Structure 1
């Protein structure tokens, strides 16, 4: 009797995904739909291409590879001009806030924190980007927490195996940060807080999504124990889950978030909903204080499984 075929091992799947992503990136004109589909499953760390993939997903790199060099040179030169214009700055309340937040960014990671010249130069880059962004976007300026959204972008770009790209991580991060925030600005714009498109509208969408997929849990959480989404999901949503998981897991979650052609918001809401469903037993057994504590300090979880569950909520 023939033996049943062996299911592929995780390492084999990783190599297979790696080769598919490398093949997708080697095309003269990148098929973004294909790249999104592959990246949504996670960009293999070993491929050394996450930096390029994210730049494509965020529209920073054009689909036509022949245009990359020219486009990058143009953008990087433009960023230098921004630095010349906006960084000879006087002290202000906003700059002090940026300084405070940059120093607090991932204090447990040497890349961002510590006394090394490398960490200090990385902090300087974060600071420069946030100040220039604030000065160019008077409608939003700087909002506390933007440093947390910038950090994964800068980390990935600064760690590009191609040192030529790594050296321009600050400029590249700036433009990708602008692009990412353009899809999220409603969550940061205080004027819109109470509107259907502001953060409250987004929190309501999360509540409705949970109601659709797990009405019992939604009722227990919000009606019985009165744990409203703004008590825990405000941070999840505005900071794109950067405070809820370890940094390596955040990077993997962002592979999926950035793969959404309509911007990260809908995928983000599905992941938030999946986070609730994955701890439903504990939530259903909990009261206000235990549920709030659980959701404000989300337990370690298998990120692959979380993303799998989130993907089913479509």
Structure 2
């Protein structure tokens, strides 16, 4: 370990052990990037307004929030399982309110079915994301890239967590885990079909069909759960508590790096409560960026269209030649900047690099104004290729960004920031 790195660790520890955290100093250190030795969990939690600056209140606040999350689990996952259990009671005991065909939109069964629709979408996206991020054998060249760069364990999300949710796994609670709900719902949709006469037939999946997502992961023993299942549960609880936005595709890309940061913390105290802490940090982060996910706000001043145009207007100020080239080729920011901005670049880089970028994004006191500069810097760093390329070549460059050195990108963005 270099003397400079040791010095940075000492600086971080000095800031975090103070009775009152010096926010500006913490931002300055975080802007330059953290590391596992730097206790990332409390740093990120302060920057995302989950932990206050006064250390004395951390214990009580964390206990209160973690208990609140446990209450969410009891009310939104465990207790709804009781409605499902009604399928086992005798026909004489079933009331109209208990019946699955009850048309009342407020009935427990109607809520259960609507929840399943959301859950299936979450499950599809989470499994697809973890497949993309983690599978060392399945990912081929990407996996080789991760291995060459000494990335942290690329099978992380597939592995069992050291701290499964005991509340969920308690056999005394009569409920279905989210995984079981998905399996049962998917099984029914795959095996039950109606022919043209309206007769219901049972069918088995074709032997040569593409394997369903249910088969992508090894089934863990009873009493265990994988990290991806925790991520799925966080997103499901968020969707239940925020019906106005519920779940939108891409949120899985936002919650993953947060959970990874907390669940790999070297301090077991933070690691043990990674699920609850991730939920509240994700909720706070979404409060800042949720307008990006609301289609009706796309064209408003707080919407994603305005932000994409802001990337181009910034580029026009900094590099008018490159701006005019993109305009000439009719390369609109929607073609690439929509994903960059909405997902905070989480699909453009490998997970450790995404976390490095987020260190700077969260530390910036103007918040996501710096993200616009990062996007502009990404364009300017490949300006020669863009100026020489045609539409097809340039679209490929922008949708599969070639530079992997995120420190170079952040340095360029900082130069743009300082040159204002």
Is TM more than 0.5 here? yes
Q: Which residue of 1 aligns with 2:129?
A: 105
Q: Which residue of 2 aligns with 1:3?
A: none
Once the two structures are TM-superposed, the CA of residue 190 in structure 1 deviates from its matched residue by 1.4
Q: State yes or no: 1:229 paired with 2:336.
A: no
8 A contact 1:56–1:63 mirrored in 2? yes
After TM superposition, the structure 1 = structure 2 runs for residues 269-288 of structure 1, keeping only pairs within 5 Å, are: 269-288=372-391
Q: State yes or no: 1:262 paired with 2:286.
A: no
Once the two structures are TM-superposed, the CA of residue 117 in structure 1 deviates from its matched residue by 4.2
- Please give the alpha-carbon distance, in whole angstroms, between the structure 2 residues aligned to 1:79 and 1:12: 41
Segment of structure 1 superposing worse, 293-302 or 150-159:
293-302
8 A contact 1:112–1:120 mirrored in 2? no
Q: Which residue of 1 aligns with 2:354?
A: 250
Deviation by residue 1:119-147 (Cα, 9 ceiling, x = unmatched):
94312211111111111112211000101
Q: Which residue of 1 aligns with 2:411?
A: 308
Query: Paired residue for 1:58, among 48, 66, 80?
Result: 48
3-state SS of 2:2 partner:
helix
After TM superposition, the structure 1 = structure 2 runs for residues 2-41 of structure 1, keeping only pairs within 5 Å, are: 11-41=2-32
Deviation by residue 1:198-256 (Cα, 9 ceiling, x = unmatched):
110110111111111111111101x2111111101111111110110111111111111
Once the two structures are TM-superposed, the CA of residue 87 in structure 1 deviates from its matched residue by 1.8
Q: Which residue of 1 aligns with 2:62?
A: 72
Segment of structure 1 superposing worse, 104-113 or 22-31:
104-113
Once the two structures are TM-superposed, the CA of residue 173 in structure 1 deviates from its matched residue by 0.2
The runs of 4+ residues in structure 1 deviating greater than 3 Å are 116-120
- Please give the alpha-carbon distance, in whole angstroms, between the structure 2 residues aligned to 1:134 and 1:262: 28
Segment of structure 1 superposing worse, 144-153 or 105-114:
105-114
8 A contact 2:12–2:38 mirrored in 1? no
8 A contact 2:239–2:246 mirrored in 1? yes
Once the two structures are TM-superposed, the CA of residue 162 in structure 1 deviates from its matched residue by 1.6
Once the two structures are TM-superposed, the CA of residue 176 in structure 1 deviates from its matched residue by 0.1
- Please give the alpha-carbon distance, in whole angstroms, between the structure 2 residues aligned to 1:82 and 1:217: 50
8 A contact 2:13–2:38 mirrored in 1? no
3-state SS of 2:156 partner:
coil
- Please give the alpha-carbon distance, in whole angstroms, between the structure 1 residues aligned to 2:365 and 2:77: 33
Q: State yes or no: 1:85 paired with 2:85.
A: no
Once the two structures are TM-superposed, the CA of residue 19 in structure 1 deviates from its matched residue by 1.4
Q: State yes or no: 1:178 paired with 2:178.
A: no
Rg larger in structure: 2
- Please give the alpha-carbon distance, in whole angstroms, between the structure 1 residues aligned to 2:229 and 2:265: 19
3-state SS of 2:299 partner:
coil
Q: Which residue of 1 aligns with 2:401?
A: 298
- Please give the alpha-carbon distance, in whole angstroms, between the structure 1 residues aligned to 2:64 and 2:226: 23
Deviation by residue 1:32-67 (Cα, 9 ceiling, x = unmatched):
11100110011134x241111101111111111111
Unaligned runs of 5+ in 1: 1-9
Unaligned runs of 5+ in 2: 81-111, 135-153, 159-216
Deviation by residue 1:160-216 (Cα, 9 ceiling, x = unmatched):
112122111010000000111111011011110122211101101111111111111
Aligned residues between the structures: 302
